[in-house]
Structure formats: structure tokens, C-alpha cells
Amino acid sequence: MSTAFDTYQSLLAAIAADGGPSREVHDPATGELIARVPIHDETDLAHAIERARSAQPGWAALSDEERSAALNRVADVVEAAAEPLAELLSREQGKPLNGPNARFEVGACAAWLRATAATPLPVEVVVDDGDAYAELHRRPIGLVAAITPWNWPMMIAVWQIAPSLRMGNAVVAKPSEYTPLSGLALTAVMNSVLPDGVLSTVVGDGALGAAMTTSPAFGKIMFTGSTATGKRIVQSSADNLTRLTLELGGNDAGIVLPDVDPAAIAQDLFWGAFINTGQTCAAMKRLYVHEDVYDEVVAALAEVAAAMPMGVGVDEQNVLGPLQNRMQFDVVDRLVEAAKSSGARVVLGGDPDRGAVGNFYPTTLIADIDPANPLVLEEQFGPALPIIRYHDVDEAIALANGVDVGLGASVWSADRAKARDIASRLQAGTVWINSHGGVHPMIPFGGVKQSGYGLEFGAEGLKSVSVPQVING
């Protein structure tokens, strides 16, 4: 399929600021200027809301089959523009083109669009006993605000946008102020086949996001980001009783049982922790390893980690990139220094070049660390993994559950039945066995405790962006 966005230059030209208020966006790996991005204000937000209100009834009036067909056409144009989208994503976010990174993320956007279009959500007959008959239907909410983060700026946007559109809503999206070009680029490509006004993107800082969360125009807010911001959204949206899906912070634990083959699981352990250079909500951020295999697991993981090239994202050989922003670099640096000061053992890394232009923090493994160390108890969101030795599995479960968040967790064992039993005792929205962090468009995903509430993906995800209507009789 031909597209107006078949080169990086044409894609960038379509979204870069051409006048009015703007600011510079720089490559976190090199410091190079990528483009100037427009800055939107509440007047721009009001215009986007008005366009969405005008477009939504006609979009909702289409049949479910017609909206699903439209999502498949959107997937087609995303695939046609995949390489320009991946290059822009790599330059702005920092993630490399290869590995489970930029090209992977754009491919996931198309795959999620198609899966969302294909997910069945039939009318449910809830009672049919001869005396009573009732059906449960799902209707559009109206307008959905999609507020997305900087770590997976295209894929998470599709996670929010695709089901909202499928169910007949119009969407106003706001990307993170750290990755605005990625959000604008994705919208530009999608809007090449969507009806005007059904999907809009506004760009701004937290004040613009706050204006969205207080607006009565939105019947639903979807937010992925920090727990602190999620709490503010709950408060600011309360007067409107706005429906919410909140996917918030995590501090995922992995528990390795003594029956594992350390060499066999090392690569999967690595990517469970270091995918997107550790900048993933459901990455493994704490690893508890039984004392019988502790040294072997640490050594095998270090061997894998040391072989993974880190560097500028558009260099084809790299699979790890910089941290997206200096704020996050400083968080990781502070936590690793706290671990080093406590006497924990640095197995790999831990020695960043703080004066370098790019936000590169080396792949870091910290062993023999106290379970109460800040690097263990706080979410680092970067390429530094604490590895904690344990003696008894009950101790490991208590430590894994001993934080106030619960997005994901994993259990690693040769005995799947034993692993499932342990999984049932972990306080997390998803527990993986012998892997960590993988998501599937048909498998519901969401957190417990202060990792938020609401489910995404599959039929549950479609239900979350609709309102139920019972037809009784």
C-alpha cells in the first residue's frame, strides 16, 4: 500500500511545528535536534473536543463490522509506514531499531489493531427462562481521553485508541511531553484513513493533561503512568464521575526456584528485566533467587547481559539504548549509588559517564543486596537489576508481596504445577511462569494494589471502553 508517509523526512515534515508556540525535541542518545513540536493549550484542547463531539455520532452509527474494517485499514497504513515510524520512535524515545524495540513496537501496533478488530463481543443473553428475557448490550461511552507515557509511546497509545474506536467512541490522545513526535506521527498515519475528528492528538505538559482529566466532555479516561499521577487523576475526575482505566507503576518480582537450569533461563531472565532498557511498567525489577542456585544464576545472567550491545538506537547492531530523559537517568543513578553505599556487590555496570551527552546508563546487576535496600523497594525503571538471595520460598513470597504495587510477577521453575501454586499466592495482576512481561492482545492485563485498576486487552478491554445497556423483555 502506498502512503504519504513512506519516508522519515515526509513523516517528520507532516508533524513538526510550522509556526506558533513550539519547543525543541532532542535525541536522548546524541543530543541532536530532531524537530520542533507544537505546544497546544486549552483552546486547542477545546477544538479537539468539539471535533470529536461532531464526529462521534456518525462513527458510532456505523456497524461493528464497519468499524472493525476501518481498524484493519488503519493497520494497513501503519504497516506501510512502519520503517519511518520506527526511525522516528528510535530517535525520539532512544530505543534501538532492532531487538524487542522500535520495529517491534510498530509491528505490535499493527498486530494490536488487527486483533482488536477481530475480538468477538457478542450480545449476551443473561436470562431466557420462558418467563423472562434479557440481553446485555455494549454501547459507546462517547469521548475517550487517552493519556500515554514515554516508554512505549506508540504501542500503549494503540492499546488505548484501538478498543475505544472499535466500540464507537471518539478519542482525544495526549502523548507524554517527552515523546510528543511519536504520538503525533502515529495519529497522522492513522488519520490518513479514519474519518475526520474521530481521533485527535494534543501536545503539552502536565497542565494540559490536568485540563483533560477535569473536563466533563470525556466519559472515559485511560492513563498509563505513575501512581502519583494516577491518584491525581482520580481526584480531578471525581466531580464528573468519569470512568477510569489506570495502569500505574509496578515493581515486579521474579522468584527463581532451586530446580532451574540457570543457563537455560538466563536469556529470558535478561529480557524480562531489561526489555526497552528496563523502561517498562511490567519489567522484572526485583529478582529473588534461591541460595542453592544463586551464584550460578547470577553468573549466567551476567554473561548474557555483558554480551548485549548498548548505543545509539539507529545503529543496527544495538539492542539497548539510553534512558529516555535525564530525570530517569538520575533516578537509576541514585538508587544504584544507594545500593553500592550499602555494601551490595556490583556484578556488572554501575559506573555511568555522568558527563556524557546521551542518557546512557550501563547494564547493571547488583548482587548480595539487602531486601530492604531502596534499589529493591523503589521502582528504578531502568537498566539496573537487584538480585536477592533467599532461603525459603515462603520468605521469597512475603518479600515479593511486601510492596504497595502489584502489576506483574513471575515464577521460574522446572515444575509447572509448583510454579502455579506459588503464582496463586503472589499479589499481582499477572503472574508469568518461566517468562516475564509478555502481553497478548486476547489476554486481559491490569494491576492490583497501587498499580491501578481496570483491564485492557481482549473482550475485557472492549468492555472497559463501553457502557452496558440491558434490554429487558
Rounded to the nearest 10 degrees, the angle between the axes of helix 82-93 and helix 180-190 is 170
Query: What does DSSP assign to residue 278?
Result: G
> Has 247 been annotated as catalytic?
yes
Whether 294 contacts 399, CB under 8 Å: no
Rounded to the nearest 10 degrees, the angle between the axes of helix 262-274 and helix 294-306 is 60
DSSP of 152-201, one letter per residue?
A: STTHHHHHHHHHHHHTT-EEEEE--TTSHHHHHHHHHHHTTTSPTTSEEE
**Which segments within 251-328 are labelled E, that is strand?**
252-256, 284-290
Query: Residues 79, 281, 379, 456: which is the catalytic one?
Result: 281
Whether 345 contacts 355, CB under 8 Å: no
- Adjacency order of strands within the sheet including 133-140: 124-128, 133-140, 466-472
Please give the distance of CA 95 from its chain centroid, rounded to a whole number.
14
Write the secondary structure of 35-104 as one string of H (helix), E (strand) and C (coil). EEEECCCHHHHHHHHHHHHHHHHHHHHCCHHHHHHHHHHHHHHHHHCHHHHHHHHHHHHCCCCCCCCHHH
The cell for 456 is 485492557
Q: Which residues pair with 408 in a beta bridge?
A: 430
Helix %, strand %, coil % for the chain, to 5?
A: 40, 20, 40
Whether 90 contacts 210, CB under 8 Å: no
> Has 109 been annotated as catalytic?
no
What b/e sequence results for 212-245 when a residue is b if at least 16 CB atoms lie within 10 Å of its CB, and e otherwise?
Answer: bbbbebbbbbbbbbebebbebbbebbeeeebbbb
Backbone angles phi, psi at 463, to 5 degrees: -60, -35
| Sequence letter at residue 34 | I
Query: Residues 177, 247, 379, 456: which is the catalytic one?
Result: 247
Look at strands 33-38 and 22-26 and give their pairing.
Answer: antiparallel
Query: What is the C-alpha separation between 175 and 47, in angstroms, rounded?
Result: 17
Residue positions annotated with a catalytic role: 247, 281
